[in-house]
Structure 1
């Protein structure tokens, strides 16, 4: 009896698979409706979730220059084998206001070791066989004969790497030593031991792996930048959103303080350190080791157009909303003009020469800039007008990104949308953090937008599995598919939508403030979420020209839970179909192709699972990831079945 029931169950399952009526769609491949911008799919970077310090910036030492509000945060006094001494924090604010604190370490015992240890950013990720570069600014006191021993300790306290150096100068000098780790540990720590009676002043205690992105000294974490490069993004927006504004204006991002000598870049508190009660992070600071020069270089490295966002004289309106008086706005405007000169200016200009002096004589070819992040209201409009006039008068080719507020609708959005359209703004920056249903329901959002008005930048979006800002949000398949469905509407309306980027980008698994996020990492590993693979599939299969894909002369945008778009890649001579099945049933589909002839095989990439709540993780990084296959094509029709909860990309050679 059991076998009979099982057999009946199999028959029922098969019936459910094949009984679905085939959906027929028509593609007119010789009728281009829109051209797709090369910048269509890009990256939004913000230093949230320890994305920079403790993340993509490969420095392993936390509070290396003792500039946290608690000067020795991240450090602990240590002694062994009878060593003794004391540590004092010295202020030199008159001499070095941008880096006012150093420490003086006095060894009082003739034997043993005295010093301090650093915990890193939730530990230090150390790899066996990797070479590490330790450096320190040191000043020897007269008659001192004190040597430094550097040790890496595993989480169990074992020494897993060691080196020595001896400061010799009585003025400030930089000392370096390299050594190889003999063990892998994601929660290691650094010990700096002093031996021999005497005293040393120390600053900028630093540790980097030598294998960084492009092996640049004191550079970026290679695996994380590689994940960005693998997206092949059209643009890189930086340095973020709300950190551009700051809680107060004194804590805003100032690009001129983020370039040049590392020890002269002024540290500030990261505005996300106490923003959320559910994830307070009081040790979250910005060293600006990842500054504007590094952002421009990274954009260039990964083939992305740079998109800097600058403060417009307004602090975050979700916090203080502090304003610069209109008659004191000139320095803020000048920062914008100087940044364009820094990026594009010739060697005969002040800021262009500085770019060359920093190692990049060739211009960065900056074409666009954001004025303000997520501002709203009349006070933003009046400041925007001043910025826009000044920039356009001197650099008319620069496209200006303009905020339409933090929401996808409502009075703030309506005011800015109407005003900026009336002022012929270049590009409007729309943000959406909503549930998956919102994204499914709004895939037609741009179908009826004014074709002659400003272009749209879908600047920040992510489906929230619980609710906006909830710590329980997950990067699950359901959310990723909702975003994929919404993006069919972005691509279908590429004559209006010129750029789009998911947000936020990075999150440290032990130090996040906001979820969901595109890429998660710990101190050694990283993984892309299902959302990451949706972004990647769109970017790698962007195409050049949109063509109609219709069902009964209507766009495929939600009927029965299906979403689709089609485009040509004229460079590769291919037709690209993107199809989302957001429902729980298999769906046979037939694409009738007119206007071009296609080859007898198609490449198919599938992203899906029968469990829409599935997520990726450090231990299962590819639980949801693209799977490639090929299918045969008969004549000018493509027939296949799209599984439940699946996003498919079909590529066909055109003849």
Structure 2
């Protein structure tokens, strides 16, 4: 080995590097541009991939009210257990009667494994509640938490007797404390003695839900949402708003009031399981509109409900006859008006009173409502029009969101925008699940949009790798590049929400997704961290950032660089975001005009040298942003950020002015 030759090669490489082009960007910090809306970066929730029941919603029991099409689906029974349908709740009439099996050496009871096993944490408490009656005299049941298998025989490790008094239906509640960690536990209930007992709505929740609410959210998943500091929360979908048919559409009025009397609904996504058909995928509606509004409040986001426009999924239903006739839309329109009253009405109104009865007398201050999801063409346009008219007349301050359909370009998309202008929508919901190339080429998408008329809501988007539809690093980086165009055009784009939000690692229909989980753990995808880097560094006003007088959006001569800048009136910071999508390092010099002297910048860096890498349950923090500081130099008339940005890297610089 010739050490002199190696040393010479290294010196030559260093010399060539010193002559590499430095990309000079200019930021005018003295002139604030368009306001960046508080709703700019938000989240969109849909019950897909077991995102609600078995996911965000804290309930640990599947089919707790015996209302699935097969009433005992999710349950294993032994001895004498019979389903009956004259229970105490009108919309959930089914329950089980457990009777003596006829022999003292036998038992009667039932067992539930939850959603692929009940996850318990050592030392944590769990609230079991159920409705019961003893029709023939005082009775007793044994409530147990059991191992799935111990020495080939399920064994209990928590056991508590619950006495049921003779007479009418009554709600019972006990607290069970787990002495150990168990990812695949089960709940077992057995009859003690010979007196029969009737059981309904058997529910098990962690006591430690998000904000410690009784009908609450799984704490770690909800906290992950709060940590995004989202500006807007769109719910409940998505395609489940439409349903596979009108009977299975989402009806918000079925999702409020006592949870025991909320009817279940088939989940629209049970039919598209990618060869994993799931006949037991239902919506319990325990996570209903009251809980959505409450969660929005808890995480500091503006609520954005989406309501049915009198249409079912157009992908499945292409005939006019499948949808509600235009002259029969009044009940659907009334649902919209009633929802606004439910959210905002005082306690003397019909629906405001119902909200107060549920524990929230103060209004939720709803400002936005979306009518229809991803619908298109005249089927949609003629139905949306009377909704807009009715909402405008009664609630003129509510902003109405329409949609341009499922495609981000093309004839149908153009028709959608034309119709939304004519109908008078305030925002237009655009969806784009597109390739790497599309995201890299569309950072200037909104630069050419009209500054008049409806604003943009990028309501569903994600970069899908060609042949690689998972949350790998490369696609997340391209999302970061594309998002520079959202921020640069904040006068046009008022909202953006990545989709889908949640996915269970063993029960999913769609990917990529932002947050993945199993029954015990969760991890945040790289796309999550991209969204967080934007939402936590949003700023209040756009600042003009250019290179040679042009926006930095991956254009010719910019070597794969994308950049945007903002001012934060809150702490007086200037925020610069730069994405290098090139596979070589890029030197940048950012002149912060209007600032003078040496400054310290807080730097957040997201980088990875394996473009196919991803976070997983086993390695949840394999790729995460890293915090550091750097000194910004004093230039002749500005403060200058001088940095070499590593290949395929996203950086955020925050400098206090």
Please say whether Structure 1 and Structure 2 have the same fold, judged by a TM-score greater than 0.5: yes
Conservation of the 8 A alpha-carbon contact between 1:112 and 1:195: no
SS of alignment partner, residue 531 of structure 2: helix
Conservation of the 8 A alpha-carbon contact between 1:598 and 1:653: no
Offset at residue 336 of structure 1 (A): 0.3
Q: State the match for 1:613 in structure 2.
A: 612
CA distance in 2, matches of 1:12, 1:536: 41
Q: State the match for 1:406 in structure 2.
A: 406
CA distance in 1, matches of 2:357, 2:565: 47
CA distance in 2, matches of 1:145, 1:9: 88
Q: State the match for 1:20 in structure 2.
A: 20
Offset at residue 346 of structure 1 (A): 1.1
Offset at residue 114 of structure 1 (A): 2.5
Offset at residue 10 of structure 1 (A): 5.8
Question: Quick check: 1:87 aligned with 2:90?
Answer: no
Conservation of the 8 A alpha-carbon contact between 1:347 and 1:356: yes
Q: State the match for 1:110 in structure 2.
A: 104
CA distance in 1, matches of 2:465, 2:458: 20
Question: Quick check: 1:653 aligned with 2:656?
Answer: yes
Give the TM-score normalised by structure 2. 0.95
Offset at residue 328 of structure 1 (A): 1.4
CA distance in 1, matches of 2:611, 2:14: 21
CA distance in 2, matches of 1:8, 1:89: 84
Flag the 1:140–1:21 CA change in 2: closer, same or farther, 3 A: same
Flag the 1:360–1:641 CA change in 2: closer, same or farther, 3 A: same
SS of alignment partner, residue 362 of structure 2: coil
Offset at residue 210 of structure 1 (A): 0.4
Q: How does 1:200-349 map to 2 (within 5 A)?
A: 200-320=197-317, 322-349=322-349
Conservation of the 8 A alpha-carbon contact between 1:154 and 1:185: no
1:637 to 635, 640, 645: 640
CA distance in 2, matches of 1:261, 1:298: 17
Partner deviation per Cα, 1:82-134 (whole Å, 9 max, x = no partner): xxx311111238x7441121111112233453311111111111111111111
Q: How does 1:465-504 map to 2 (within 5 A)?
A: 465-466=465-466, 473-504=469-500
Conservation of the 8 A alpha-carbon contact between 1:477 and 1:613: yes
CA distance in 2, matches of 1:152, 1:7: 67
Q: How does 1:243-642 map to 2 (within 5 A)?
A: 243-320=240-317, 322-466=322-466, 473-559=469-555, 560-597=559-596, 600-635=599-634, 636-642=639-645
CA distance in 2, matches of 1:317, 1:3: 69
Q: Which runs of 5+ in 2 are unaligned?
A: none
SS of alignment partner, residue 387 of structure 1: helix
Q: Which runs of 5+ in 1 are unaligned?
A: 79-84
CA distance in 1, matches of 2:494, 2:299: 19
CA distance in 1, matches of 2:224, 2:16: 39
Q: State the match for 1:82 in structure 2.
A: none
Flag the 1:626–1:132 CA change in 2: closer, same or farther, 3 A: same
SS of alignment partner, residue 353 of structure 2: helix
CA distance in 2, matches of 1:315, 1:9: 66
Partner deviation per Cα, 1:576-600 (whole Å, 9 max, x = no partner): 0000001111111100121233652
Conservation of the 8 A alpha-carbon contact between 1:149 and 1:194: no
Flag the 1:302–1:598 CA change in 2: closer, same or farther, 3 A: farther
Q: State the match for 2:145 in structure 1.
A: 151
Q: State the match for 2:130 in structure 1.
A: 136
SS of alignment partner, residue 405 of structure 2: coil
Offset at residue 33 of structure 1 (A): 2.9
SS of alignment partner, residue 295 of structure 2: helix
RMSD: 1.8
Q: State the match for 2:93 in structure 1.
A: 100
Partner deviation per Cα, 1:631-654 (whole Å, 9 max, x = no partner): 111111110111111100000110
Question: Quick check: 1:170 aligned with 2:160?
Answer: no
Give the TM-score normalised by structure 1. 0.95
Offset at residue 276 of structure 1 (A): 3.4
Conservation of the 8 A alpha-carbon contact between 1:146 and 1:197: no
Conservation of the 8 A alpha-carbon contact between 2:48 and 2:269: yes
Conservation of the 8 A alpha-carbon contact between 1:584 and 1:610: no
SS of alignment partner, residue 529 of structure 2: helix
CA distance in 2, matches of 1:128, 1:3: 60
Partner deviation per Cα, 1:198-234 (whole Å, 9 max, x = no partner): 3211111111110001111131111111000000000
